[in-house]
Amino acid sequence: MYYHRQLETKIRETADEFACITLYGARQTGKSTMVRNLFPDCEYVTLDSSRERLLAADDPELFLDAHGTPLIIDEIQKAPALMESVKIRVDEAKLRSVESGSPIGLMYILTGSNTHEIREKASETLAGRTALIEVNSFSNCEKLKCEGNEFIPDVELLKRKQNRLIPRNRYKVFEEIFLGGMPEYWVSRPDRDTFFESYISTYIEKDVSRMINVGRLDDFRRFLRIVALRTSQQLDYTEIGNAVGIDARTAKSWISILEASGIIMILQPYASNLAKRIVKTPKLYFMDTGLCSYLCGWSDAGILEASSMAGAFFETYVVSEIVKSIRNAGKKVEYCLYYYRDRDQKEVDLIYVKDQTLYPIEIKKGIGKDKADKNFGILEQYKMPIATGLIIDTSDKVFPLNRNAYYCPVGMIGL
């Protein structure tokens, strides 16, 4: 069964503008399945095949001659020299297009799981020649098979959309948090422990082992769990390193691997020259709560909901859903999403920035927090317009807390 992805619209639009598209993201996020369904007439080849991989590495030109265009090349990071040949082919096609006055058309779709290597190589070799598109695991809208859009925290817009809301109580939300959004797991529902253990082993053996000393892979596995237990917290490399038994520099390097692999995202604080007391430490969030809950050892959604980490997981889920909605619209999260905390411990969970206006957002797993907006006023120091704020929780409709803030059901994200 194929689940349509919100990114499909962006990819189709991009295919009309670029001769090459590069899709990257964490493993098991459905990149190959999506492009094969979007472009059924394109030949598909995967470099997981040793025969194809050897030919691509030894003679990239012959490999491309053998397959022609349009062509989908999966796991492109396994033959990085191939990107240079793709570049040459695209440049030659552009020259012919200029001379003939005819459009180039889509030639190559590249996909891969090693986000770090693909972004680095594509940025160096295919700069200006390929569109880079990040793919995440299923959003809630995709799992429900309903039309999704970028989440914009505008109260009037949300009120107009809430007739599409499918209400869920807190247990249902935590059940979804527990399961996560990995497409293969969500669709096929294999044994959960077997699936995630295989996922972690594959990720470490195929991706991480190429970037760190093989003798430290057991340390990295322990490091993964330590980081999962700190989802939605501020990054403290020294503390994480001490918990694993590594130095802060190594912890920072390994965090960058998780981020580059699409496992986590780093949320930066909103800063200004006027804000002298702002804490400049970023926060980390896992992009798939199912993987995170497995790493933390939770065996049941109810146990997770009753745990001391329930708030952290709910916040992680909300942030990851907002991030997915922004990326699925083809936009950069780092241009519009931040958080606020100062040395007096005053915090705003999220700040969405649009058209020089600040939209404050607080995240609460419960309902009816009367003073949930208590820190929104701190943003006045930026001398920028401040929109009506949101308290995202498990309520069943968009309704006012007061004139400055509205409750917003978590299910409204991405509708």
Higher pLDDT, 261 or 359: 359
Q: What's the pLDDT band for 338 if we cut at 50, 70, 90?
A: very high
In the predicted model, is pLDDT for residue 115 greater than 70? Answer: no
- Please state the rounded mean pLDDT for residues 332-342: 93
In the predicted model, is pLDDT for residue 312 greater than 60? Answer: yes
Enumerate residues 6+ apart whose C-beta is below 8 A from 167.
396, 409, 411
Contact of 110 with 131, CB cutoff 8 Å = no
Looking at residue 283, what is its pLDDT? 98
128-132, 208-212, 403-407: range with highest mean pLDDT: 403-407
Helix (H) or strand (E) run with residue 134 in it? strand 130-134
- Residue 102: exposure state from Cβ atoms within 10 A (0-12, 13-18, ≥19): exposed
Q: What's the pLDDT band for 77 if we cut at 50, 70, 90?
A: confident
Looking at residue 118, what is its pLDDT? 74
**Virtual CA dihedral for 300, 301, 306, 307, nearest 10 degrees?**
70
Contact of 332 with 360, CB cutoff 8 Å = no
Looking at residue 191, what is its pLDDT? 94
Looking at residue 101, what is its pLDDT? 86
Place of tokens 């003073």: 371
**Virtual CA dihedral for 5, 10, 12, 18, nearest 10 degrees?**
-140
Using one digit for the tens of pLDDT, what is the confidence trace for 6-33? 999 999 999 999 999 999 989 999 999 9
**Which range, of 70-74, 166-170, 314-318, 373-377, averages the lowest pLDDT?**
166-170
- Please state the rounded mean pLDDT for residues 326-352: 93
In the predicted model, is pLDDT for residue 121 greater than 60? Answer: yes
Looking at residue 343, what is its pLDDT? 85
In the predicted model, is pLDDT for residue 224 greater than 90? Answer: yes
How far apart CA 344 and CA 339 sit, in angstroms, is 15
Enumerate residues 6+ apart whose C-beta is below 8 A from 57.
78, 79, 81, 82
- Please state the rounded mean pLDDT for residues 354-364: 96
Please provide the average confidence, as pLDDT, over all residues in the chain. 92
Q: What share of the chain is helix, strand, coil (3-state, %, to 5)?
A: 50, 15, 35
In the predicted model, is pLDDT for residue 234 greater than 70? Answer: yes
Contact of 235 with 282, CB cutoff 8 Å = yes
Contact of 356 with 384, CB cutoff 8 Å = yes
- Please state the rounded mean pLDDT for residues 282-305: 97
Give the per-residue SS3 of 91-108: HHHHHHHHHHCCCCCCCE
Using one digit for the tens of pLDDT, what is the confidence trace for 84-107? 999 999 999 999 988 888 888 999
**Which range, of 76-85, 109-118, 130-139, 350-359, averages the lowest pLDDT?**
109-118
In the predicted model, is pLDDT for residue 112 greater than 90? Answer: no
22-36, 107-121, 206-220, 305-319: range with highest mean pLDDT: 305-319
Contact of 79 with 108, CB cutoff 8 Å = no
% of the chain surpassing 70 pLDDT: 95
What DSSP character marks residue 387? P
Integer distance in angstroms from the first to the last C-alpha of the chain? 22
**Which range, of 68-82, 171-185, 203-217, 335-349, averages the lowest pLDDT?**
203-217
Would you state the structure tokens that stand for residue 199, as one six-digit string? 């996922």
In the predicted model, is pLDDT for residue 127 greater than 80? Answer: no
Higher pLDDT, 329 or 148: 329
Q: Which of 37, 388, 385 is nearest to 183 (CA)?
A: 37
